[in-house]
Chains A and B, each alone.
Chain A
């Protein structure tokens, strides 16, 4: 059953990721990327990482993609204003990415993965376990990330503010 779920989710992920790249309308790219993030959240649920699945939906679909969507709307980007590269560069880009994929697959082919636990009954991805980890071992990085957010927020407001 989980193999079928994996295949369905993977095909949806791959198709929507390719549509992000090949769509001519920036709005369609944004919507397709939101769908892609939902399917990745489905993968997290399949791996029994519930906490990350929820955080992924809240942060990516709820915050980051809304920001992208508002920027695309604010700048009024559409199919007509969309700049395109020449066909030669597009072909070169596809070939370069394909070669990279080939090289990575060739190098991953001979990897030996060690012994593993099946994730379907494990509880390591639950809120309780991640929370304990986050507030004991990773307390300092957690607090530092709040400072990073603060500075990013102030920086974004300063940059986007109109100059007098």
Chain B
């Protein structure tokens, strides 16, 4: 019994950890002005959701959640490829990745 008690990570801890990581990602998006860092914080948020999906899938004994995580990784990779290509071409035009310079579409 004692062995089980020390070996066992409660499900709530994963909930807490991924909530915290998600909030760090949100904070990064609000905090920084560099568009590349903002994209990295979006990756952080995606990863926190992935971690929670894997945790719930492992604890419920159902592998569907892990397949979803696989597809989220696919979409994240495609998103990063297109997003960084856009940033490089924006940089070529305005020589900056500062989001305060990129406000031409702002109302």
Contact = CB atoms under 8 A, between A and B. Distances in A.
Interface of A: 1-3, 6, 10, 13-14, 17-18, 20-22, 26, 29-30, 33, 36-37, 40, 43-44, 46-49, 51-52, 55-56, 59-60, 63-64, 67-68, 71-72, 74-75, 77, 82-85, 89-90, 92-94, 96-98, 100-101, 104-105, 108, 111, 113-114, 116-120, 122, 124-125, 129-130, 133-134, 137-138, 141, 145, 148-149, 151-153, 155-157, 159-160, 162
Given A116-B59, A117-B59, A160 B89 contact: yes
Chain A's interface: helix, strand, loop or mixed, by majority? Answer: helix
B57 A124 contact: yes
B6 A1 contact: yes
B28 A85 contact: no
A134 B79 CA distance: 22
Contacts of A74: 88
B64 A133 contact: yes
